[in-house]
Amino acid sequence: MTRFHAVYWPAMLLSAGLPVPTRILVHGYVTVEGRKIGKSAGNAIDPVPLAEELGPDALRYFLLRHIRSTGDGDFSYARFRQAYDSELAGQLGNLAHRVLSMIERYCDGVVPTPSEGFVESDRLLQAANRLPDMVAAHLHAFAFDRAIDDIWAFVADANRYVSEKAPWDLAKVAASPDGEAAAAGEAKLHDTLLSLSASLLAIAKCIAPLLPRASRKLFKKFGNQHFDSKTLAGTRVAAGIPLFPKP
C-alpha cells in the first residue's frame, strides 16, 4: 500500500496537474482470525450485519481502537462482541446510566449546584478540562487508537471516582435527621454529581468525531447542553435507554 500512496498516486496527480499530498497515512492490513482475507479463503467479513447487530458506532470503535491506524490488525467476532459488552456497555454505557439515574433519584433529575470553589479544585473536573486537547492532538496525528485510549482511561477514572465518592452513601447522610451532617452530605453529593455530569459531557465532546451517534445520544440526555462545568448546574437530564444496551 505504501508504494501506491507514495509513488503511483502522487505520479497520477502530477500528470493531471494537481497538487500532491504533503502527509500520507498508510494503514496496515486487516486479517480475520489470524488469516489473510481472500476470496479463495472465503473468510471475508460483511460489516453491514455487524453494524446492524450492535450499531455502527460499535464497529467504528473496534476498528479504531483495536486495529492501530498504521499497523496490521486482526478481527474476530468474539473480540468484537467482548469489546462491546466490556468496554462500550460495561464502562462508558454503565458510567452514563449510573450517573444520570442517580441525578434523577437524588436531585429530581436536575444537575445540582456545586459548593463554592469546588469546580476549580476537583481533580476529575481538571482532568475533564484537559481531555479535549489531548484527544485533538492524537486526532491531528491520525492516532485514532491513542485518542480512544485516552478517552477510555478517563472513563475508567470517572468510574473509580464514583466508587470512591459513593454517592449512594452520601445520599443516606443527606437524608439523616442530623441537620449539620445532612447539609454536609448533601453538599458532597451535589459536588460529586456535578463533577460526573461535566465529565460525561467532556466525553461526549471527545467521542463526537469517533462515535458520532453515541455522542449525540449522550448530549441529548443533557438536553444538548455543551460542555461547561460552570453553567451546567440546573440542567435537566434523562437517563433513558443506556447508550449501549446489551442485546
The set of cell numbers assigned to 130 is: 484537559
- pTM of the entire predicted model: 0.88
Average pLDDT, the chain: 91
Could you tell me the pLDDT band of residue 226, with boundaries at 50, 70 and 90?
low
pLDDT, average across residues 223-244: 84
SS3 35: strand
**pLDDT tens figures, 5-14:** 788 888 999 9
Could you tell me the pLDDT band of residue 157, with boundaries at 50, 70 and 90?
very high
CATH number of 204's domain:
1.10.730.10
Strand partners, 31: 36, 74
pLDDT, average across residues 85-89: 97
Residues 106 and 212 in one domain: yes
- Final residue before a domain boundary, out of 54, 75, 96: 75
**pLDDT tens figures, 97-121:** 999 999 999 999 999 999 999 999 9
- Final residue before a domain boundary, out of 50, 75, 100: 75
Could you tell me the pLDDT band of residue 28, with boundaries at 50, 70 and 90?
confident
Residues 100 and 213 in one domain: yes
Residue 138 lies in a domain: yes
Q: Total structural domains in the chain?
A: 2
Strand partners, 52: none
Residues 206 and 102 in one domain: yes
**pLDDT tens figures, 120-146:** 999 999 999 999 999 999 999 999 999
Does residue 179 register a pLDDT over 90? no
Does residue 89 register a pLDDT over 90? yes
Residues 184 and 141 in one domain: yes
Residue 237 lies in a domain: no
Residues 41 and 145 in one domain: no
Does residue 227 register a pLDDT over 60? no
Does residue 224 register a pLDDT over 60? yes
CA atoms of 177 and 188, how far apart (whole Å)? 17
CA atoms of 168 and 171, how far apart (whole Å)? 5
Does residue 42 register a pLDDT over 60? yes
Could you tell me the pLDDT band of residue 229, with boundaries at 50, 70 and 90?
low
The set of cell numbers assigned to 135 is: 484527544
Residue 66 lies in a domain: yes
Residues 119 and 196 in one domain: yes
Residues 197 and 140 in one domain: yes
Residue 101 lies in a domain: yes
Closest CA to 161 of 149, 170, 174: 170
CA atoms of 194 and 132, how far apart (whole Å)? 19
Does residue 15 register a pLDDT over 70? yes
Residues 98 and 217 in one domain: yes
Q: Which residue has the higher pLDDT, 192 or 50?
A: 192
CA atoms of 109 and 122, how far apart (whole Å)? 22
CA atoms of 205 and 240, how far apart (whole Å)? 20
- Final residue before a domain boundary, out of 23, 45, 75: 75
Q: What is the pLDDT of residue 22?
A: 83
Residue 241 lies in a domain: no
Residue 194 lies in a domain: yes
Residue 120 lies in a domain: yes
* Kind of pairing between the strands at 73-75 and 30-32: parallel
DSSP notation for 8-60: IHHHHHHHTT-PPPS-------EEETTEE--TTTT----HHHHHHHH-HHHHH
- Collect all residues with Cβ–Cβ distance below 8 Å to 142 and sequence separation of at least 6: 25, 69, 70
Residues 71 and 91 in one domain: no
Residues 60 and 132 in one domain: no
Where do we find the cell 509513488?
7
**DSSP code for 161:** H
Residues 70 and 104 in one domain: no
Domain assignment of residue 40, given as a range: 2-75
Residues 120 and 170 in one domain: yes
